[in-house]
Amino acid sequence: MTRRATWLTAGLVIALPTVMVLGIASGAVGIAPGRVLAVVADQLVPWWSDPSPVELETYIIWDLRAPRVMTAALVGAALAGVGAVLQAVVRNPLADPYLLGISSGAGTGAVLSIVLGVSALGGLTRSVAAFAGAIIATLAVLILGRREGRVEPVRLILAGVALSFLFSGLTSFLTLTTQAEEVFSVLFWLLGTVAAADWMDVGLLAPVVGVGIAAIFFRSGLLNALLAGDETAIGVGVSVHRLRTELLLVTSLLTGVAVAIAGGVGFVGLVVPHLVRILVGAEHRRLIPLVFLAGAVFLVTVDLAARTVVAPRELPLGVITSVLGAPFFLWVMHHGDRRSPTGVS
């Protein structure tokens, strides 16, 4: 491990709990970080902590904000990891979780559920509809991206882009032909938000993201082989076509769940992997764990900004990731390390 990777690991391991506590502490009602720790400790190990906190405080911290921050962390980790994997799987630096049309499919599903009014039954229905849309898009792109039984990166990208346009068009049509007061909530959701996340969302996300992270982590050495080209990868004993299909299924599942719960948070999956790669290089054993961590830190921070920049109003996450993330990314790219093509100014 290089020294830079060690520093980055240490920095992220400290940063993640820090931004999570800050994320819980900030909001309409300001709470001291010390109180956050006390309430969280009281919830996790009630027999150990001292005087029980007041009920309202517990409600704000544990029921409102903690699941929101947890959701942001899980979605950030998932989307960033998916981006890093897809960039290797299709050997294209522009790949991100939305490239393959998965989020557009989820968006159409969600908007359909809102427009048809079934969302009156609660947030879960929208999530289910979004997830169904993601699965339909995934299956379509996997079928269209194959030739002679093999997944071909270029076909996959083209099929994904075409499907994205198709689903985006359908979403726009549904949005523009629906009742005016519903349009705003649809648009807001399409740009990504974790404002309404509760513990049920965390309960859905956590197992999927956990399994997905593990599945990707154990394949990170094989991703190095994919970078070296298919012929080389086959020559060192990697079943390239099987690996691609497995990774596409895992990443689709992660994207589907993330979009179903948090909407279309753009840019995270594209930018975070590149930022980490510029800092520590492209070796995936080192890169992948850091990308997961960085994605979590990034999205918790973005959510914090989304709540505070124009408080008391909230911004969608996608607005922050684009408006703040893009210039930051361009700055790092310009001053980055020459070891990476993206780092060459």
Partner 1 sequence: MELRVEQVTVELSGVDVVRDVSIEVAPGQVVGLLGPNGCGKSTVLRTVYRALAPRRGAISIGGDDVWKLSALGSARRSAVLPQDTPADIELLALDLALLGRLPHRGRIASPTAEDRQIAMDALADLDVDHLAQRPVSTLSGGERQRVHLARALCQTTPVLVMDEPTNHLDVQHQLDLLERVRDAGATTIAAIHDLTLASAFCDAVVLLKEGKVVAAGTPDEVLTPDLVLEVFGVDCVVLQNPRTGTSVFALSAVNGRRSRAGRPSDGDESEAASL
Query: Binding-site residue total for partner 1 (CB under 8 A)?
Result: 28
In the complex with partner 1, the residue whose CB is nearer, 181 or 231, is 231
Q: Which part of the chain contacts partner 1 (CB under 8 A), choosing from 56-64, 135-143, 318-326, 336-344?
A: 336-344
Using rule CB under 8 A, residue 210 touches partner 1: no
Among the listed residues 238, 257, 261, 275, the single contact to partner 1 using CB under 8 A: 238
SS (H, E, C) 51-89: CCCCHHHHHHHHHHHHHHHHHHHHHHHHHHHHHHHHHHH
User: Contacting partner 1 (CB under 8 A), which of 64, 196, 227, 333?
Assistant: 227
- Burial level of 100, CB count in 10 A (0-12/13-18/19+)? buried
With binding defined as CB under 8 A, does residue 341 bind partner 1?
yes
Q: Which range in 5-13, 166-174, 218-226, 250-258 contacts partner 1 by CB under 8 A?
A: 218-226
Q: Which of 10, 214, 234, 323 binds partner 1 (CB under 8 A)?
A: 234
Cβ distance to partner 1 smaller for residue 136 or 288:
288
Please state, in angstroms and as integers, the Cα–Cα distance from residue 125 to each residue in 205, 265, 325, following that order: 15, 19, 31
Rounded distance between C-alpha atoms, residue 226 and residue 229, angstroms:
5
Residue 17 engages partner 1 in binding (rule: CB under 8 A): no
- Contacting residue, 228, 310, 323, 330, with partner 1 by CB under 8 A: 228
Phi, psi angle pair for 147, to nearest 5°:
-140, 130
Count the Cβ atoms, other than its own, within 10 Å of residue 113.
Answer: 21
**Distance between CA atoms of residues 263 and 35, nearest Å:** 31
**Cβ at position 282, least distance to partner 1 in Å:** 4
Q: How far is the CB of 68 from partner 1 (least distance, A)?
A: 35
* Alpha carbons 75 and 30: distance in angstroms, whole number: 25
CA distance 93 to 270: 8
213 counts as binding partner 1 under rule CB under 8 A: no
Of 66, 74, 75, 222, the one binding partner 1 by CB under 8 A: 222
Stretch of 71-79, 180-188, 200-208, 215-223 lying at the interface with partner 1 (CB under 8 A) = 215-223
Between CA 214 and CA 288 the distance in angstroms is: 11
80 binds partner 1 (CB under 8 A): no
Give yes or no for residue 285 binding partner 1 (CB under 8 A): yes
Per-residue CA distances from 123 to 76, 201, 237 (Å): 20, 10, 46
Q: How far apart are CA 23 and CA 275, in angstroms?
A: 23
- Print the binding letters for residues 82-121 with partner 1: x by CB under 8 A, - otherwise: ---------x------------------------------
Is residue 231 at the binding interface for partner 1, with CB under 8 A as the rule?
yes
Nearest distance from C-beta of residue 222 to partner 1, angstroms: 6
- Residue 136 in the binding site for partner 1 (CB under 8 A): no
Closest distance to partner 1 from the beta carbon of 169 (Å) = 33
Asked if 276 and 336 touch (Cβ cutoff 8 Å), the reply is no
- Using rule CB under 8 A, residue 214 touches partner 1: no
Q: Does 281 bind partner 1 (CB under 8 A)?
A: yes
- 3-class secondary structure, 271: helix
* 4 scored as a contact of partner 1 (CB under 8 A): no
Identify the helix (H) or strand (E) that includes residue 115.
helix 102-115
Q: In terms of CB distance, is 35 or 339 closer to partner 1? A: 339
In degrees and rounded to multiples of 5, residue 306 shows phi and psi of: -60, -30
Q: To which H or E segment does residue 147 belong?
A: strand 146-147
Q: Which residues bind partner 1 (CB under 8 A)?
A: 91, 218-219, 221-222, 224-225, 227-232, 234-239, 277, 281-283, 285, 338-341
